[in-house]
Amino acid sequence: MAKSVADVMKLVQENECKFVDFRFTDTRGKEQHVSVPVSHFDEDKFSDGHAFDGSSIAGWKGIEASDMLLMPDPATAHIDPFYEESTLVLSCDVLEPGDGKAYERDPRSLARRAEAYLKASGIGDTAFFGPEPEFFVFDNVRWSTEPGHSFYHIEEYEAPWNSGAKLEGGNRGHRPTTKGGYFPVAPVDSTHDMRAEMALVLEAMGIPVEVFHHEVAGAGQMELGTKFSTLVERADWTQRLKHVVWNVADRYGKTATFMPKPYHGDNGSGMHVHQSIWKGGKNLFAGNGYAGLSDTALFYIGGIIKHARALNAITNPTTNSYKRLVPHFEAPVKLAYSSRNRSASIRIPHVMSDKARRIEARFPDPMANPYLCFSALLMAGLDGIENKIHPGEAASKDLYHLPPEEDKLVPTVCHSLDQALEELDKDRAFLTRGGVFTDSMLDAYIELKMSEVNRIRVQVNPAEYDMYYSL
């Protein structure tokens, strides 16, 4: 991986690059890009930046103040493995051209502010994150949202509903059952080679892969586990992982999605987020308390639980997210913590070393913008540490199957995006400390996301015909 401007220029020369791709992430978490021929790329780009029109990015600038700058980060330089012509990729921060300051709504710049706030707080100097984004891969997908014609249709050889289908080339019969994808060998698991290629591409791009496997849902759900890193770098890697998943799947003639719930009746996709705070090379989450945790770690958990409903607007930022977070469907909706207990929304993984001591938030999903998601979780945890918010007793029971009188005593995450946005609007002070998030950014975020809520509100669902047409 290149670490300096000189390294980048050497990388360009050694790989005979013909183009340079400047990439940044918008509010919704989608990576955007603009390319220049290598003849228009030199060392000055790292000080002058590259101009672009910010008014075309949803939730950003108005047309009257649209000029913005992309400032490439040399530490992110890598060669894109999918373009036909050799192309160097650089992740960028977004700056205001007038004063050169970071744009307050740029997710990557915001994540940098979160890291700076941690150091300024004196609590720690490094926050490590390890997300586990799950995803589905299908053979084909179609949908329509026309006023008189609304549907989605998934075609996937592995889908359990295909056991009786007559398929071109024959139906070989070996496929996962509903909730049976974790994790039989081939030929039931038919996508190993594709995941292996994804893993090799990620490793070649400098992202260490620790594990890959089929996930629980039958119709092509899977996961690539990659190594933890610091907040901004780990968010960069998450964006890169999505790019690799989409493009390798495409090369296999398939289509990948990170939607939490692309179809009902089977497990949805989450993004469990492992977290720890360090200072001076020491893991502050290791201690002599419950499951080997320190008071610092317990207070961090307390902060996440306290602010979980506001966090939902960022960690679970789509209407589809709440198709996964439904009580009594083995979803991590219960705001409790426990060692090894996967029914709690915060789990303490069993580890052999204090260096690996960490907590795992299980309610986020892969629709989350990783820069905003990790920053928000960190800010909630730091609020818990600063205010010594204890999370109470750990959960020892299966929270999915509690008696009704006990079930109602355990708080839950939000049940819808509009509820989460209301909670975020009310509970935002922990995010705006140190100017990490700003009120202006949060107002724009809520407005952007409410437009999604309202679109779904007016959309007629085919299930409503099933329930109401003949009443």
User: What is the structure's pLDDT at 278?
Assistant: 98
Active site residue 132: yes
Active site residue 340: no
User: What is the structure's pLDDT at 24?
Assistant: 97
Catalytic residue among 342, 422, 427, 433: 342
Instruction: Kindly tell me the burial class for residue 5, based on how many C-beta atoms sit within 10 Å of its own C-beta (0-12, 13-18, 19 or more).
Output: middle
Tokens 């202006």 -> residue: 440
User: What is the structure's pLDDT at 175?
Assistant: 95
Residues 131-185 have pLDDT tens digits of 999 999 999 999 999 999 999 999 999 999 999 999 988 999 999 999 999 999 9
User: What is the structure's pLDDT at 401?
Assistant: 77
Maximum separation of any 2 CA atoms in the chain, in Å: 71
Alpha carbon 377 to chain centroid, angstroms: 12
Active site residue 215: yes
- Residues of the chain short of pLDDT 50, as ranges, are none
User: What is the structure's pLDDT at 69?
Assistant: 95
Catalytic residue among 195, 214, 272, 358: 272
Active site residue 104: no
User: For the whole model, what pTM was predicted?
Assistant: 0.96
Active site residue 80: no
CB 270 within 8 A of CB 366: yes
Residues 424-439 have pLDDT tens digits of 999 999 999 999 999 9
Active site residue 347: no
Catalytic residue among 73, 215, 383, 418: 215
Which run of H or E residues covers position 457?
Answer: helix 439-458
Which run of H or E residues covers position 20?
Answer: strand 19-25
